[in-house]
Amino acid sequence: MNAQRRDGVTVNSDTGEALGLHTFGNDPALMALIDVANVACGFHSGDPDTIEATVVLAKENGVRVGAHPGLPDLVGFGRREMKLTPAEVENLVRYQVGALVGFLHKYDLPLNHIKPHGSLYGMLARDEELMLGAARVAKDYGVPVFGLAGTAHQRVAEREGVEFVGELYVDLDYDADGKLIILRQPHATDPAAAAERTRRALTEGTIAAVDGTPLTIEFDSICVHSDAANAVDVTDAVRAVVVEHRTH
């Protein structure tokens, strides 16, 4: 990725991850720090009232809103893989995106993108047939797909004429092959370490894998998860580096 694209890098976070009175993040504080919100659409988390409240919060903060469809597994928070056909993937993505779009229309906001959640994200990164279902929905809405560069996310999106936005993760580890190591439970990330990973990625174009292997990651957006206890501190640290880079 060239320097010009990195200058326009955004910060995104997963939001709306709540059910009724139970919430897994700190959306009000995060919305003041991010550029893009990935809103849970009800399958791994979220409900109608939460979706509406999240859309309103995003509008108040000038944050762009994308759909964050997940596997239909509330108990497992969408982090347990399922055996699905390509048609089933397309239908569950289309269903969830439609739910969010209903609220976006109410508040006169456009759909910004689609970003799969959790294990669905990983499944689609590995399987081009499954990814095709998500790409078809994105193509119908005329929006980009957020995902991992160099995987089926990018290959299928580009083949189908769908814009692709590569992501960098600062609160998840990568293995030596550049694959994300996704844990069932969130863990606290050192804000200083997240800031340093961001700085290195923006200036050198590389990050370190969990074993120290240098990895080249192509990205246009940096994701910070919202469900860790110190997510706001991590996002604040990352945001500061991004803003500093934009001004130089």
Residue 156 lies in a domain: yes
Segment 39-43 mean pLDDT: 96
* pLDDT at 103 exceeding the cut of 80: yes
pLDDT at 239 over 50: yes
Its domain, for residue 145, covers: 10-247
For residue 182, tell me if it sits in a domain: yes
pLDDT reported for residue 59:
98
Q: C-alpha distances in angstroms, 161 versus 16, 117, 144, 154?
A: 29, 22, 10, 11
Q: What pLDDT score was predicted for residue 184?
A: 67
Q: Is the confidence at residue 126, as pLDDT, over 70? A: yes
pLDDT of the residue at 49: 96
**Is residue 225 within 8 Å of 231, Cβ to Cβ?**
yes
Contact between 147 and 167 under an 8 Å Cβ cutoff? The reply is yes
Number of domains forming the structure of the chain: 1
Question: Residue 3 domain-assigned?
Answer: no
**What pLDDT is recorded for position 25?**
78
In a domain, residue 1? The reply is no
33 lies in some domain:
yes
pLDDT value, residue 227 = 81
- Residue 186's pLDDT is 67
Residue 248: is its pLDDT beyond 80? no
pLDDT, residue 4, reads: 31
Q: CATH number, domain at 238? A: 3.20.20.370
Residue 25 lies in a domain: yes
Q: Is 4 contained in some domain? A: no
C-alpha angle 229/147/104, rounded to 5°? 75
Report the distance separating Cα 9 and Cα 7, nearest Å: 6
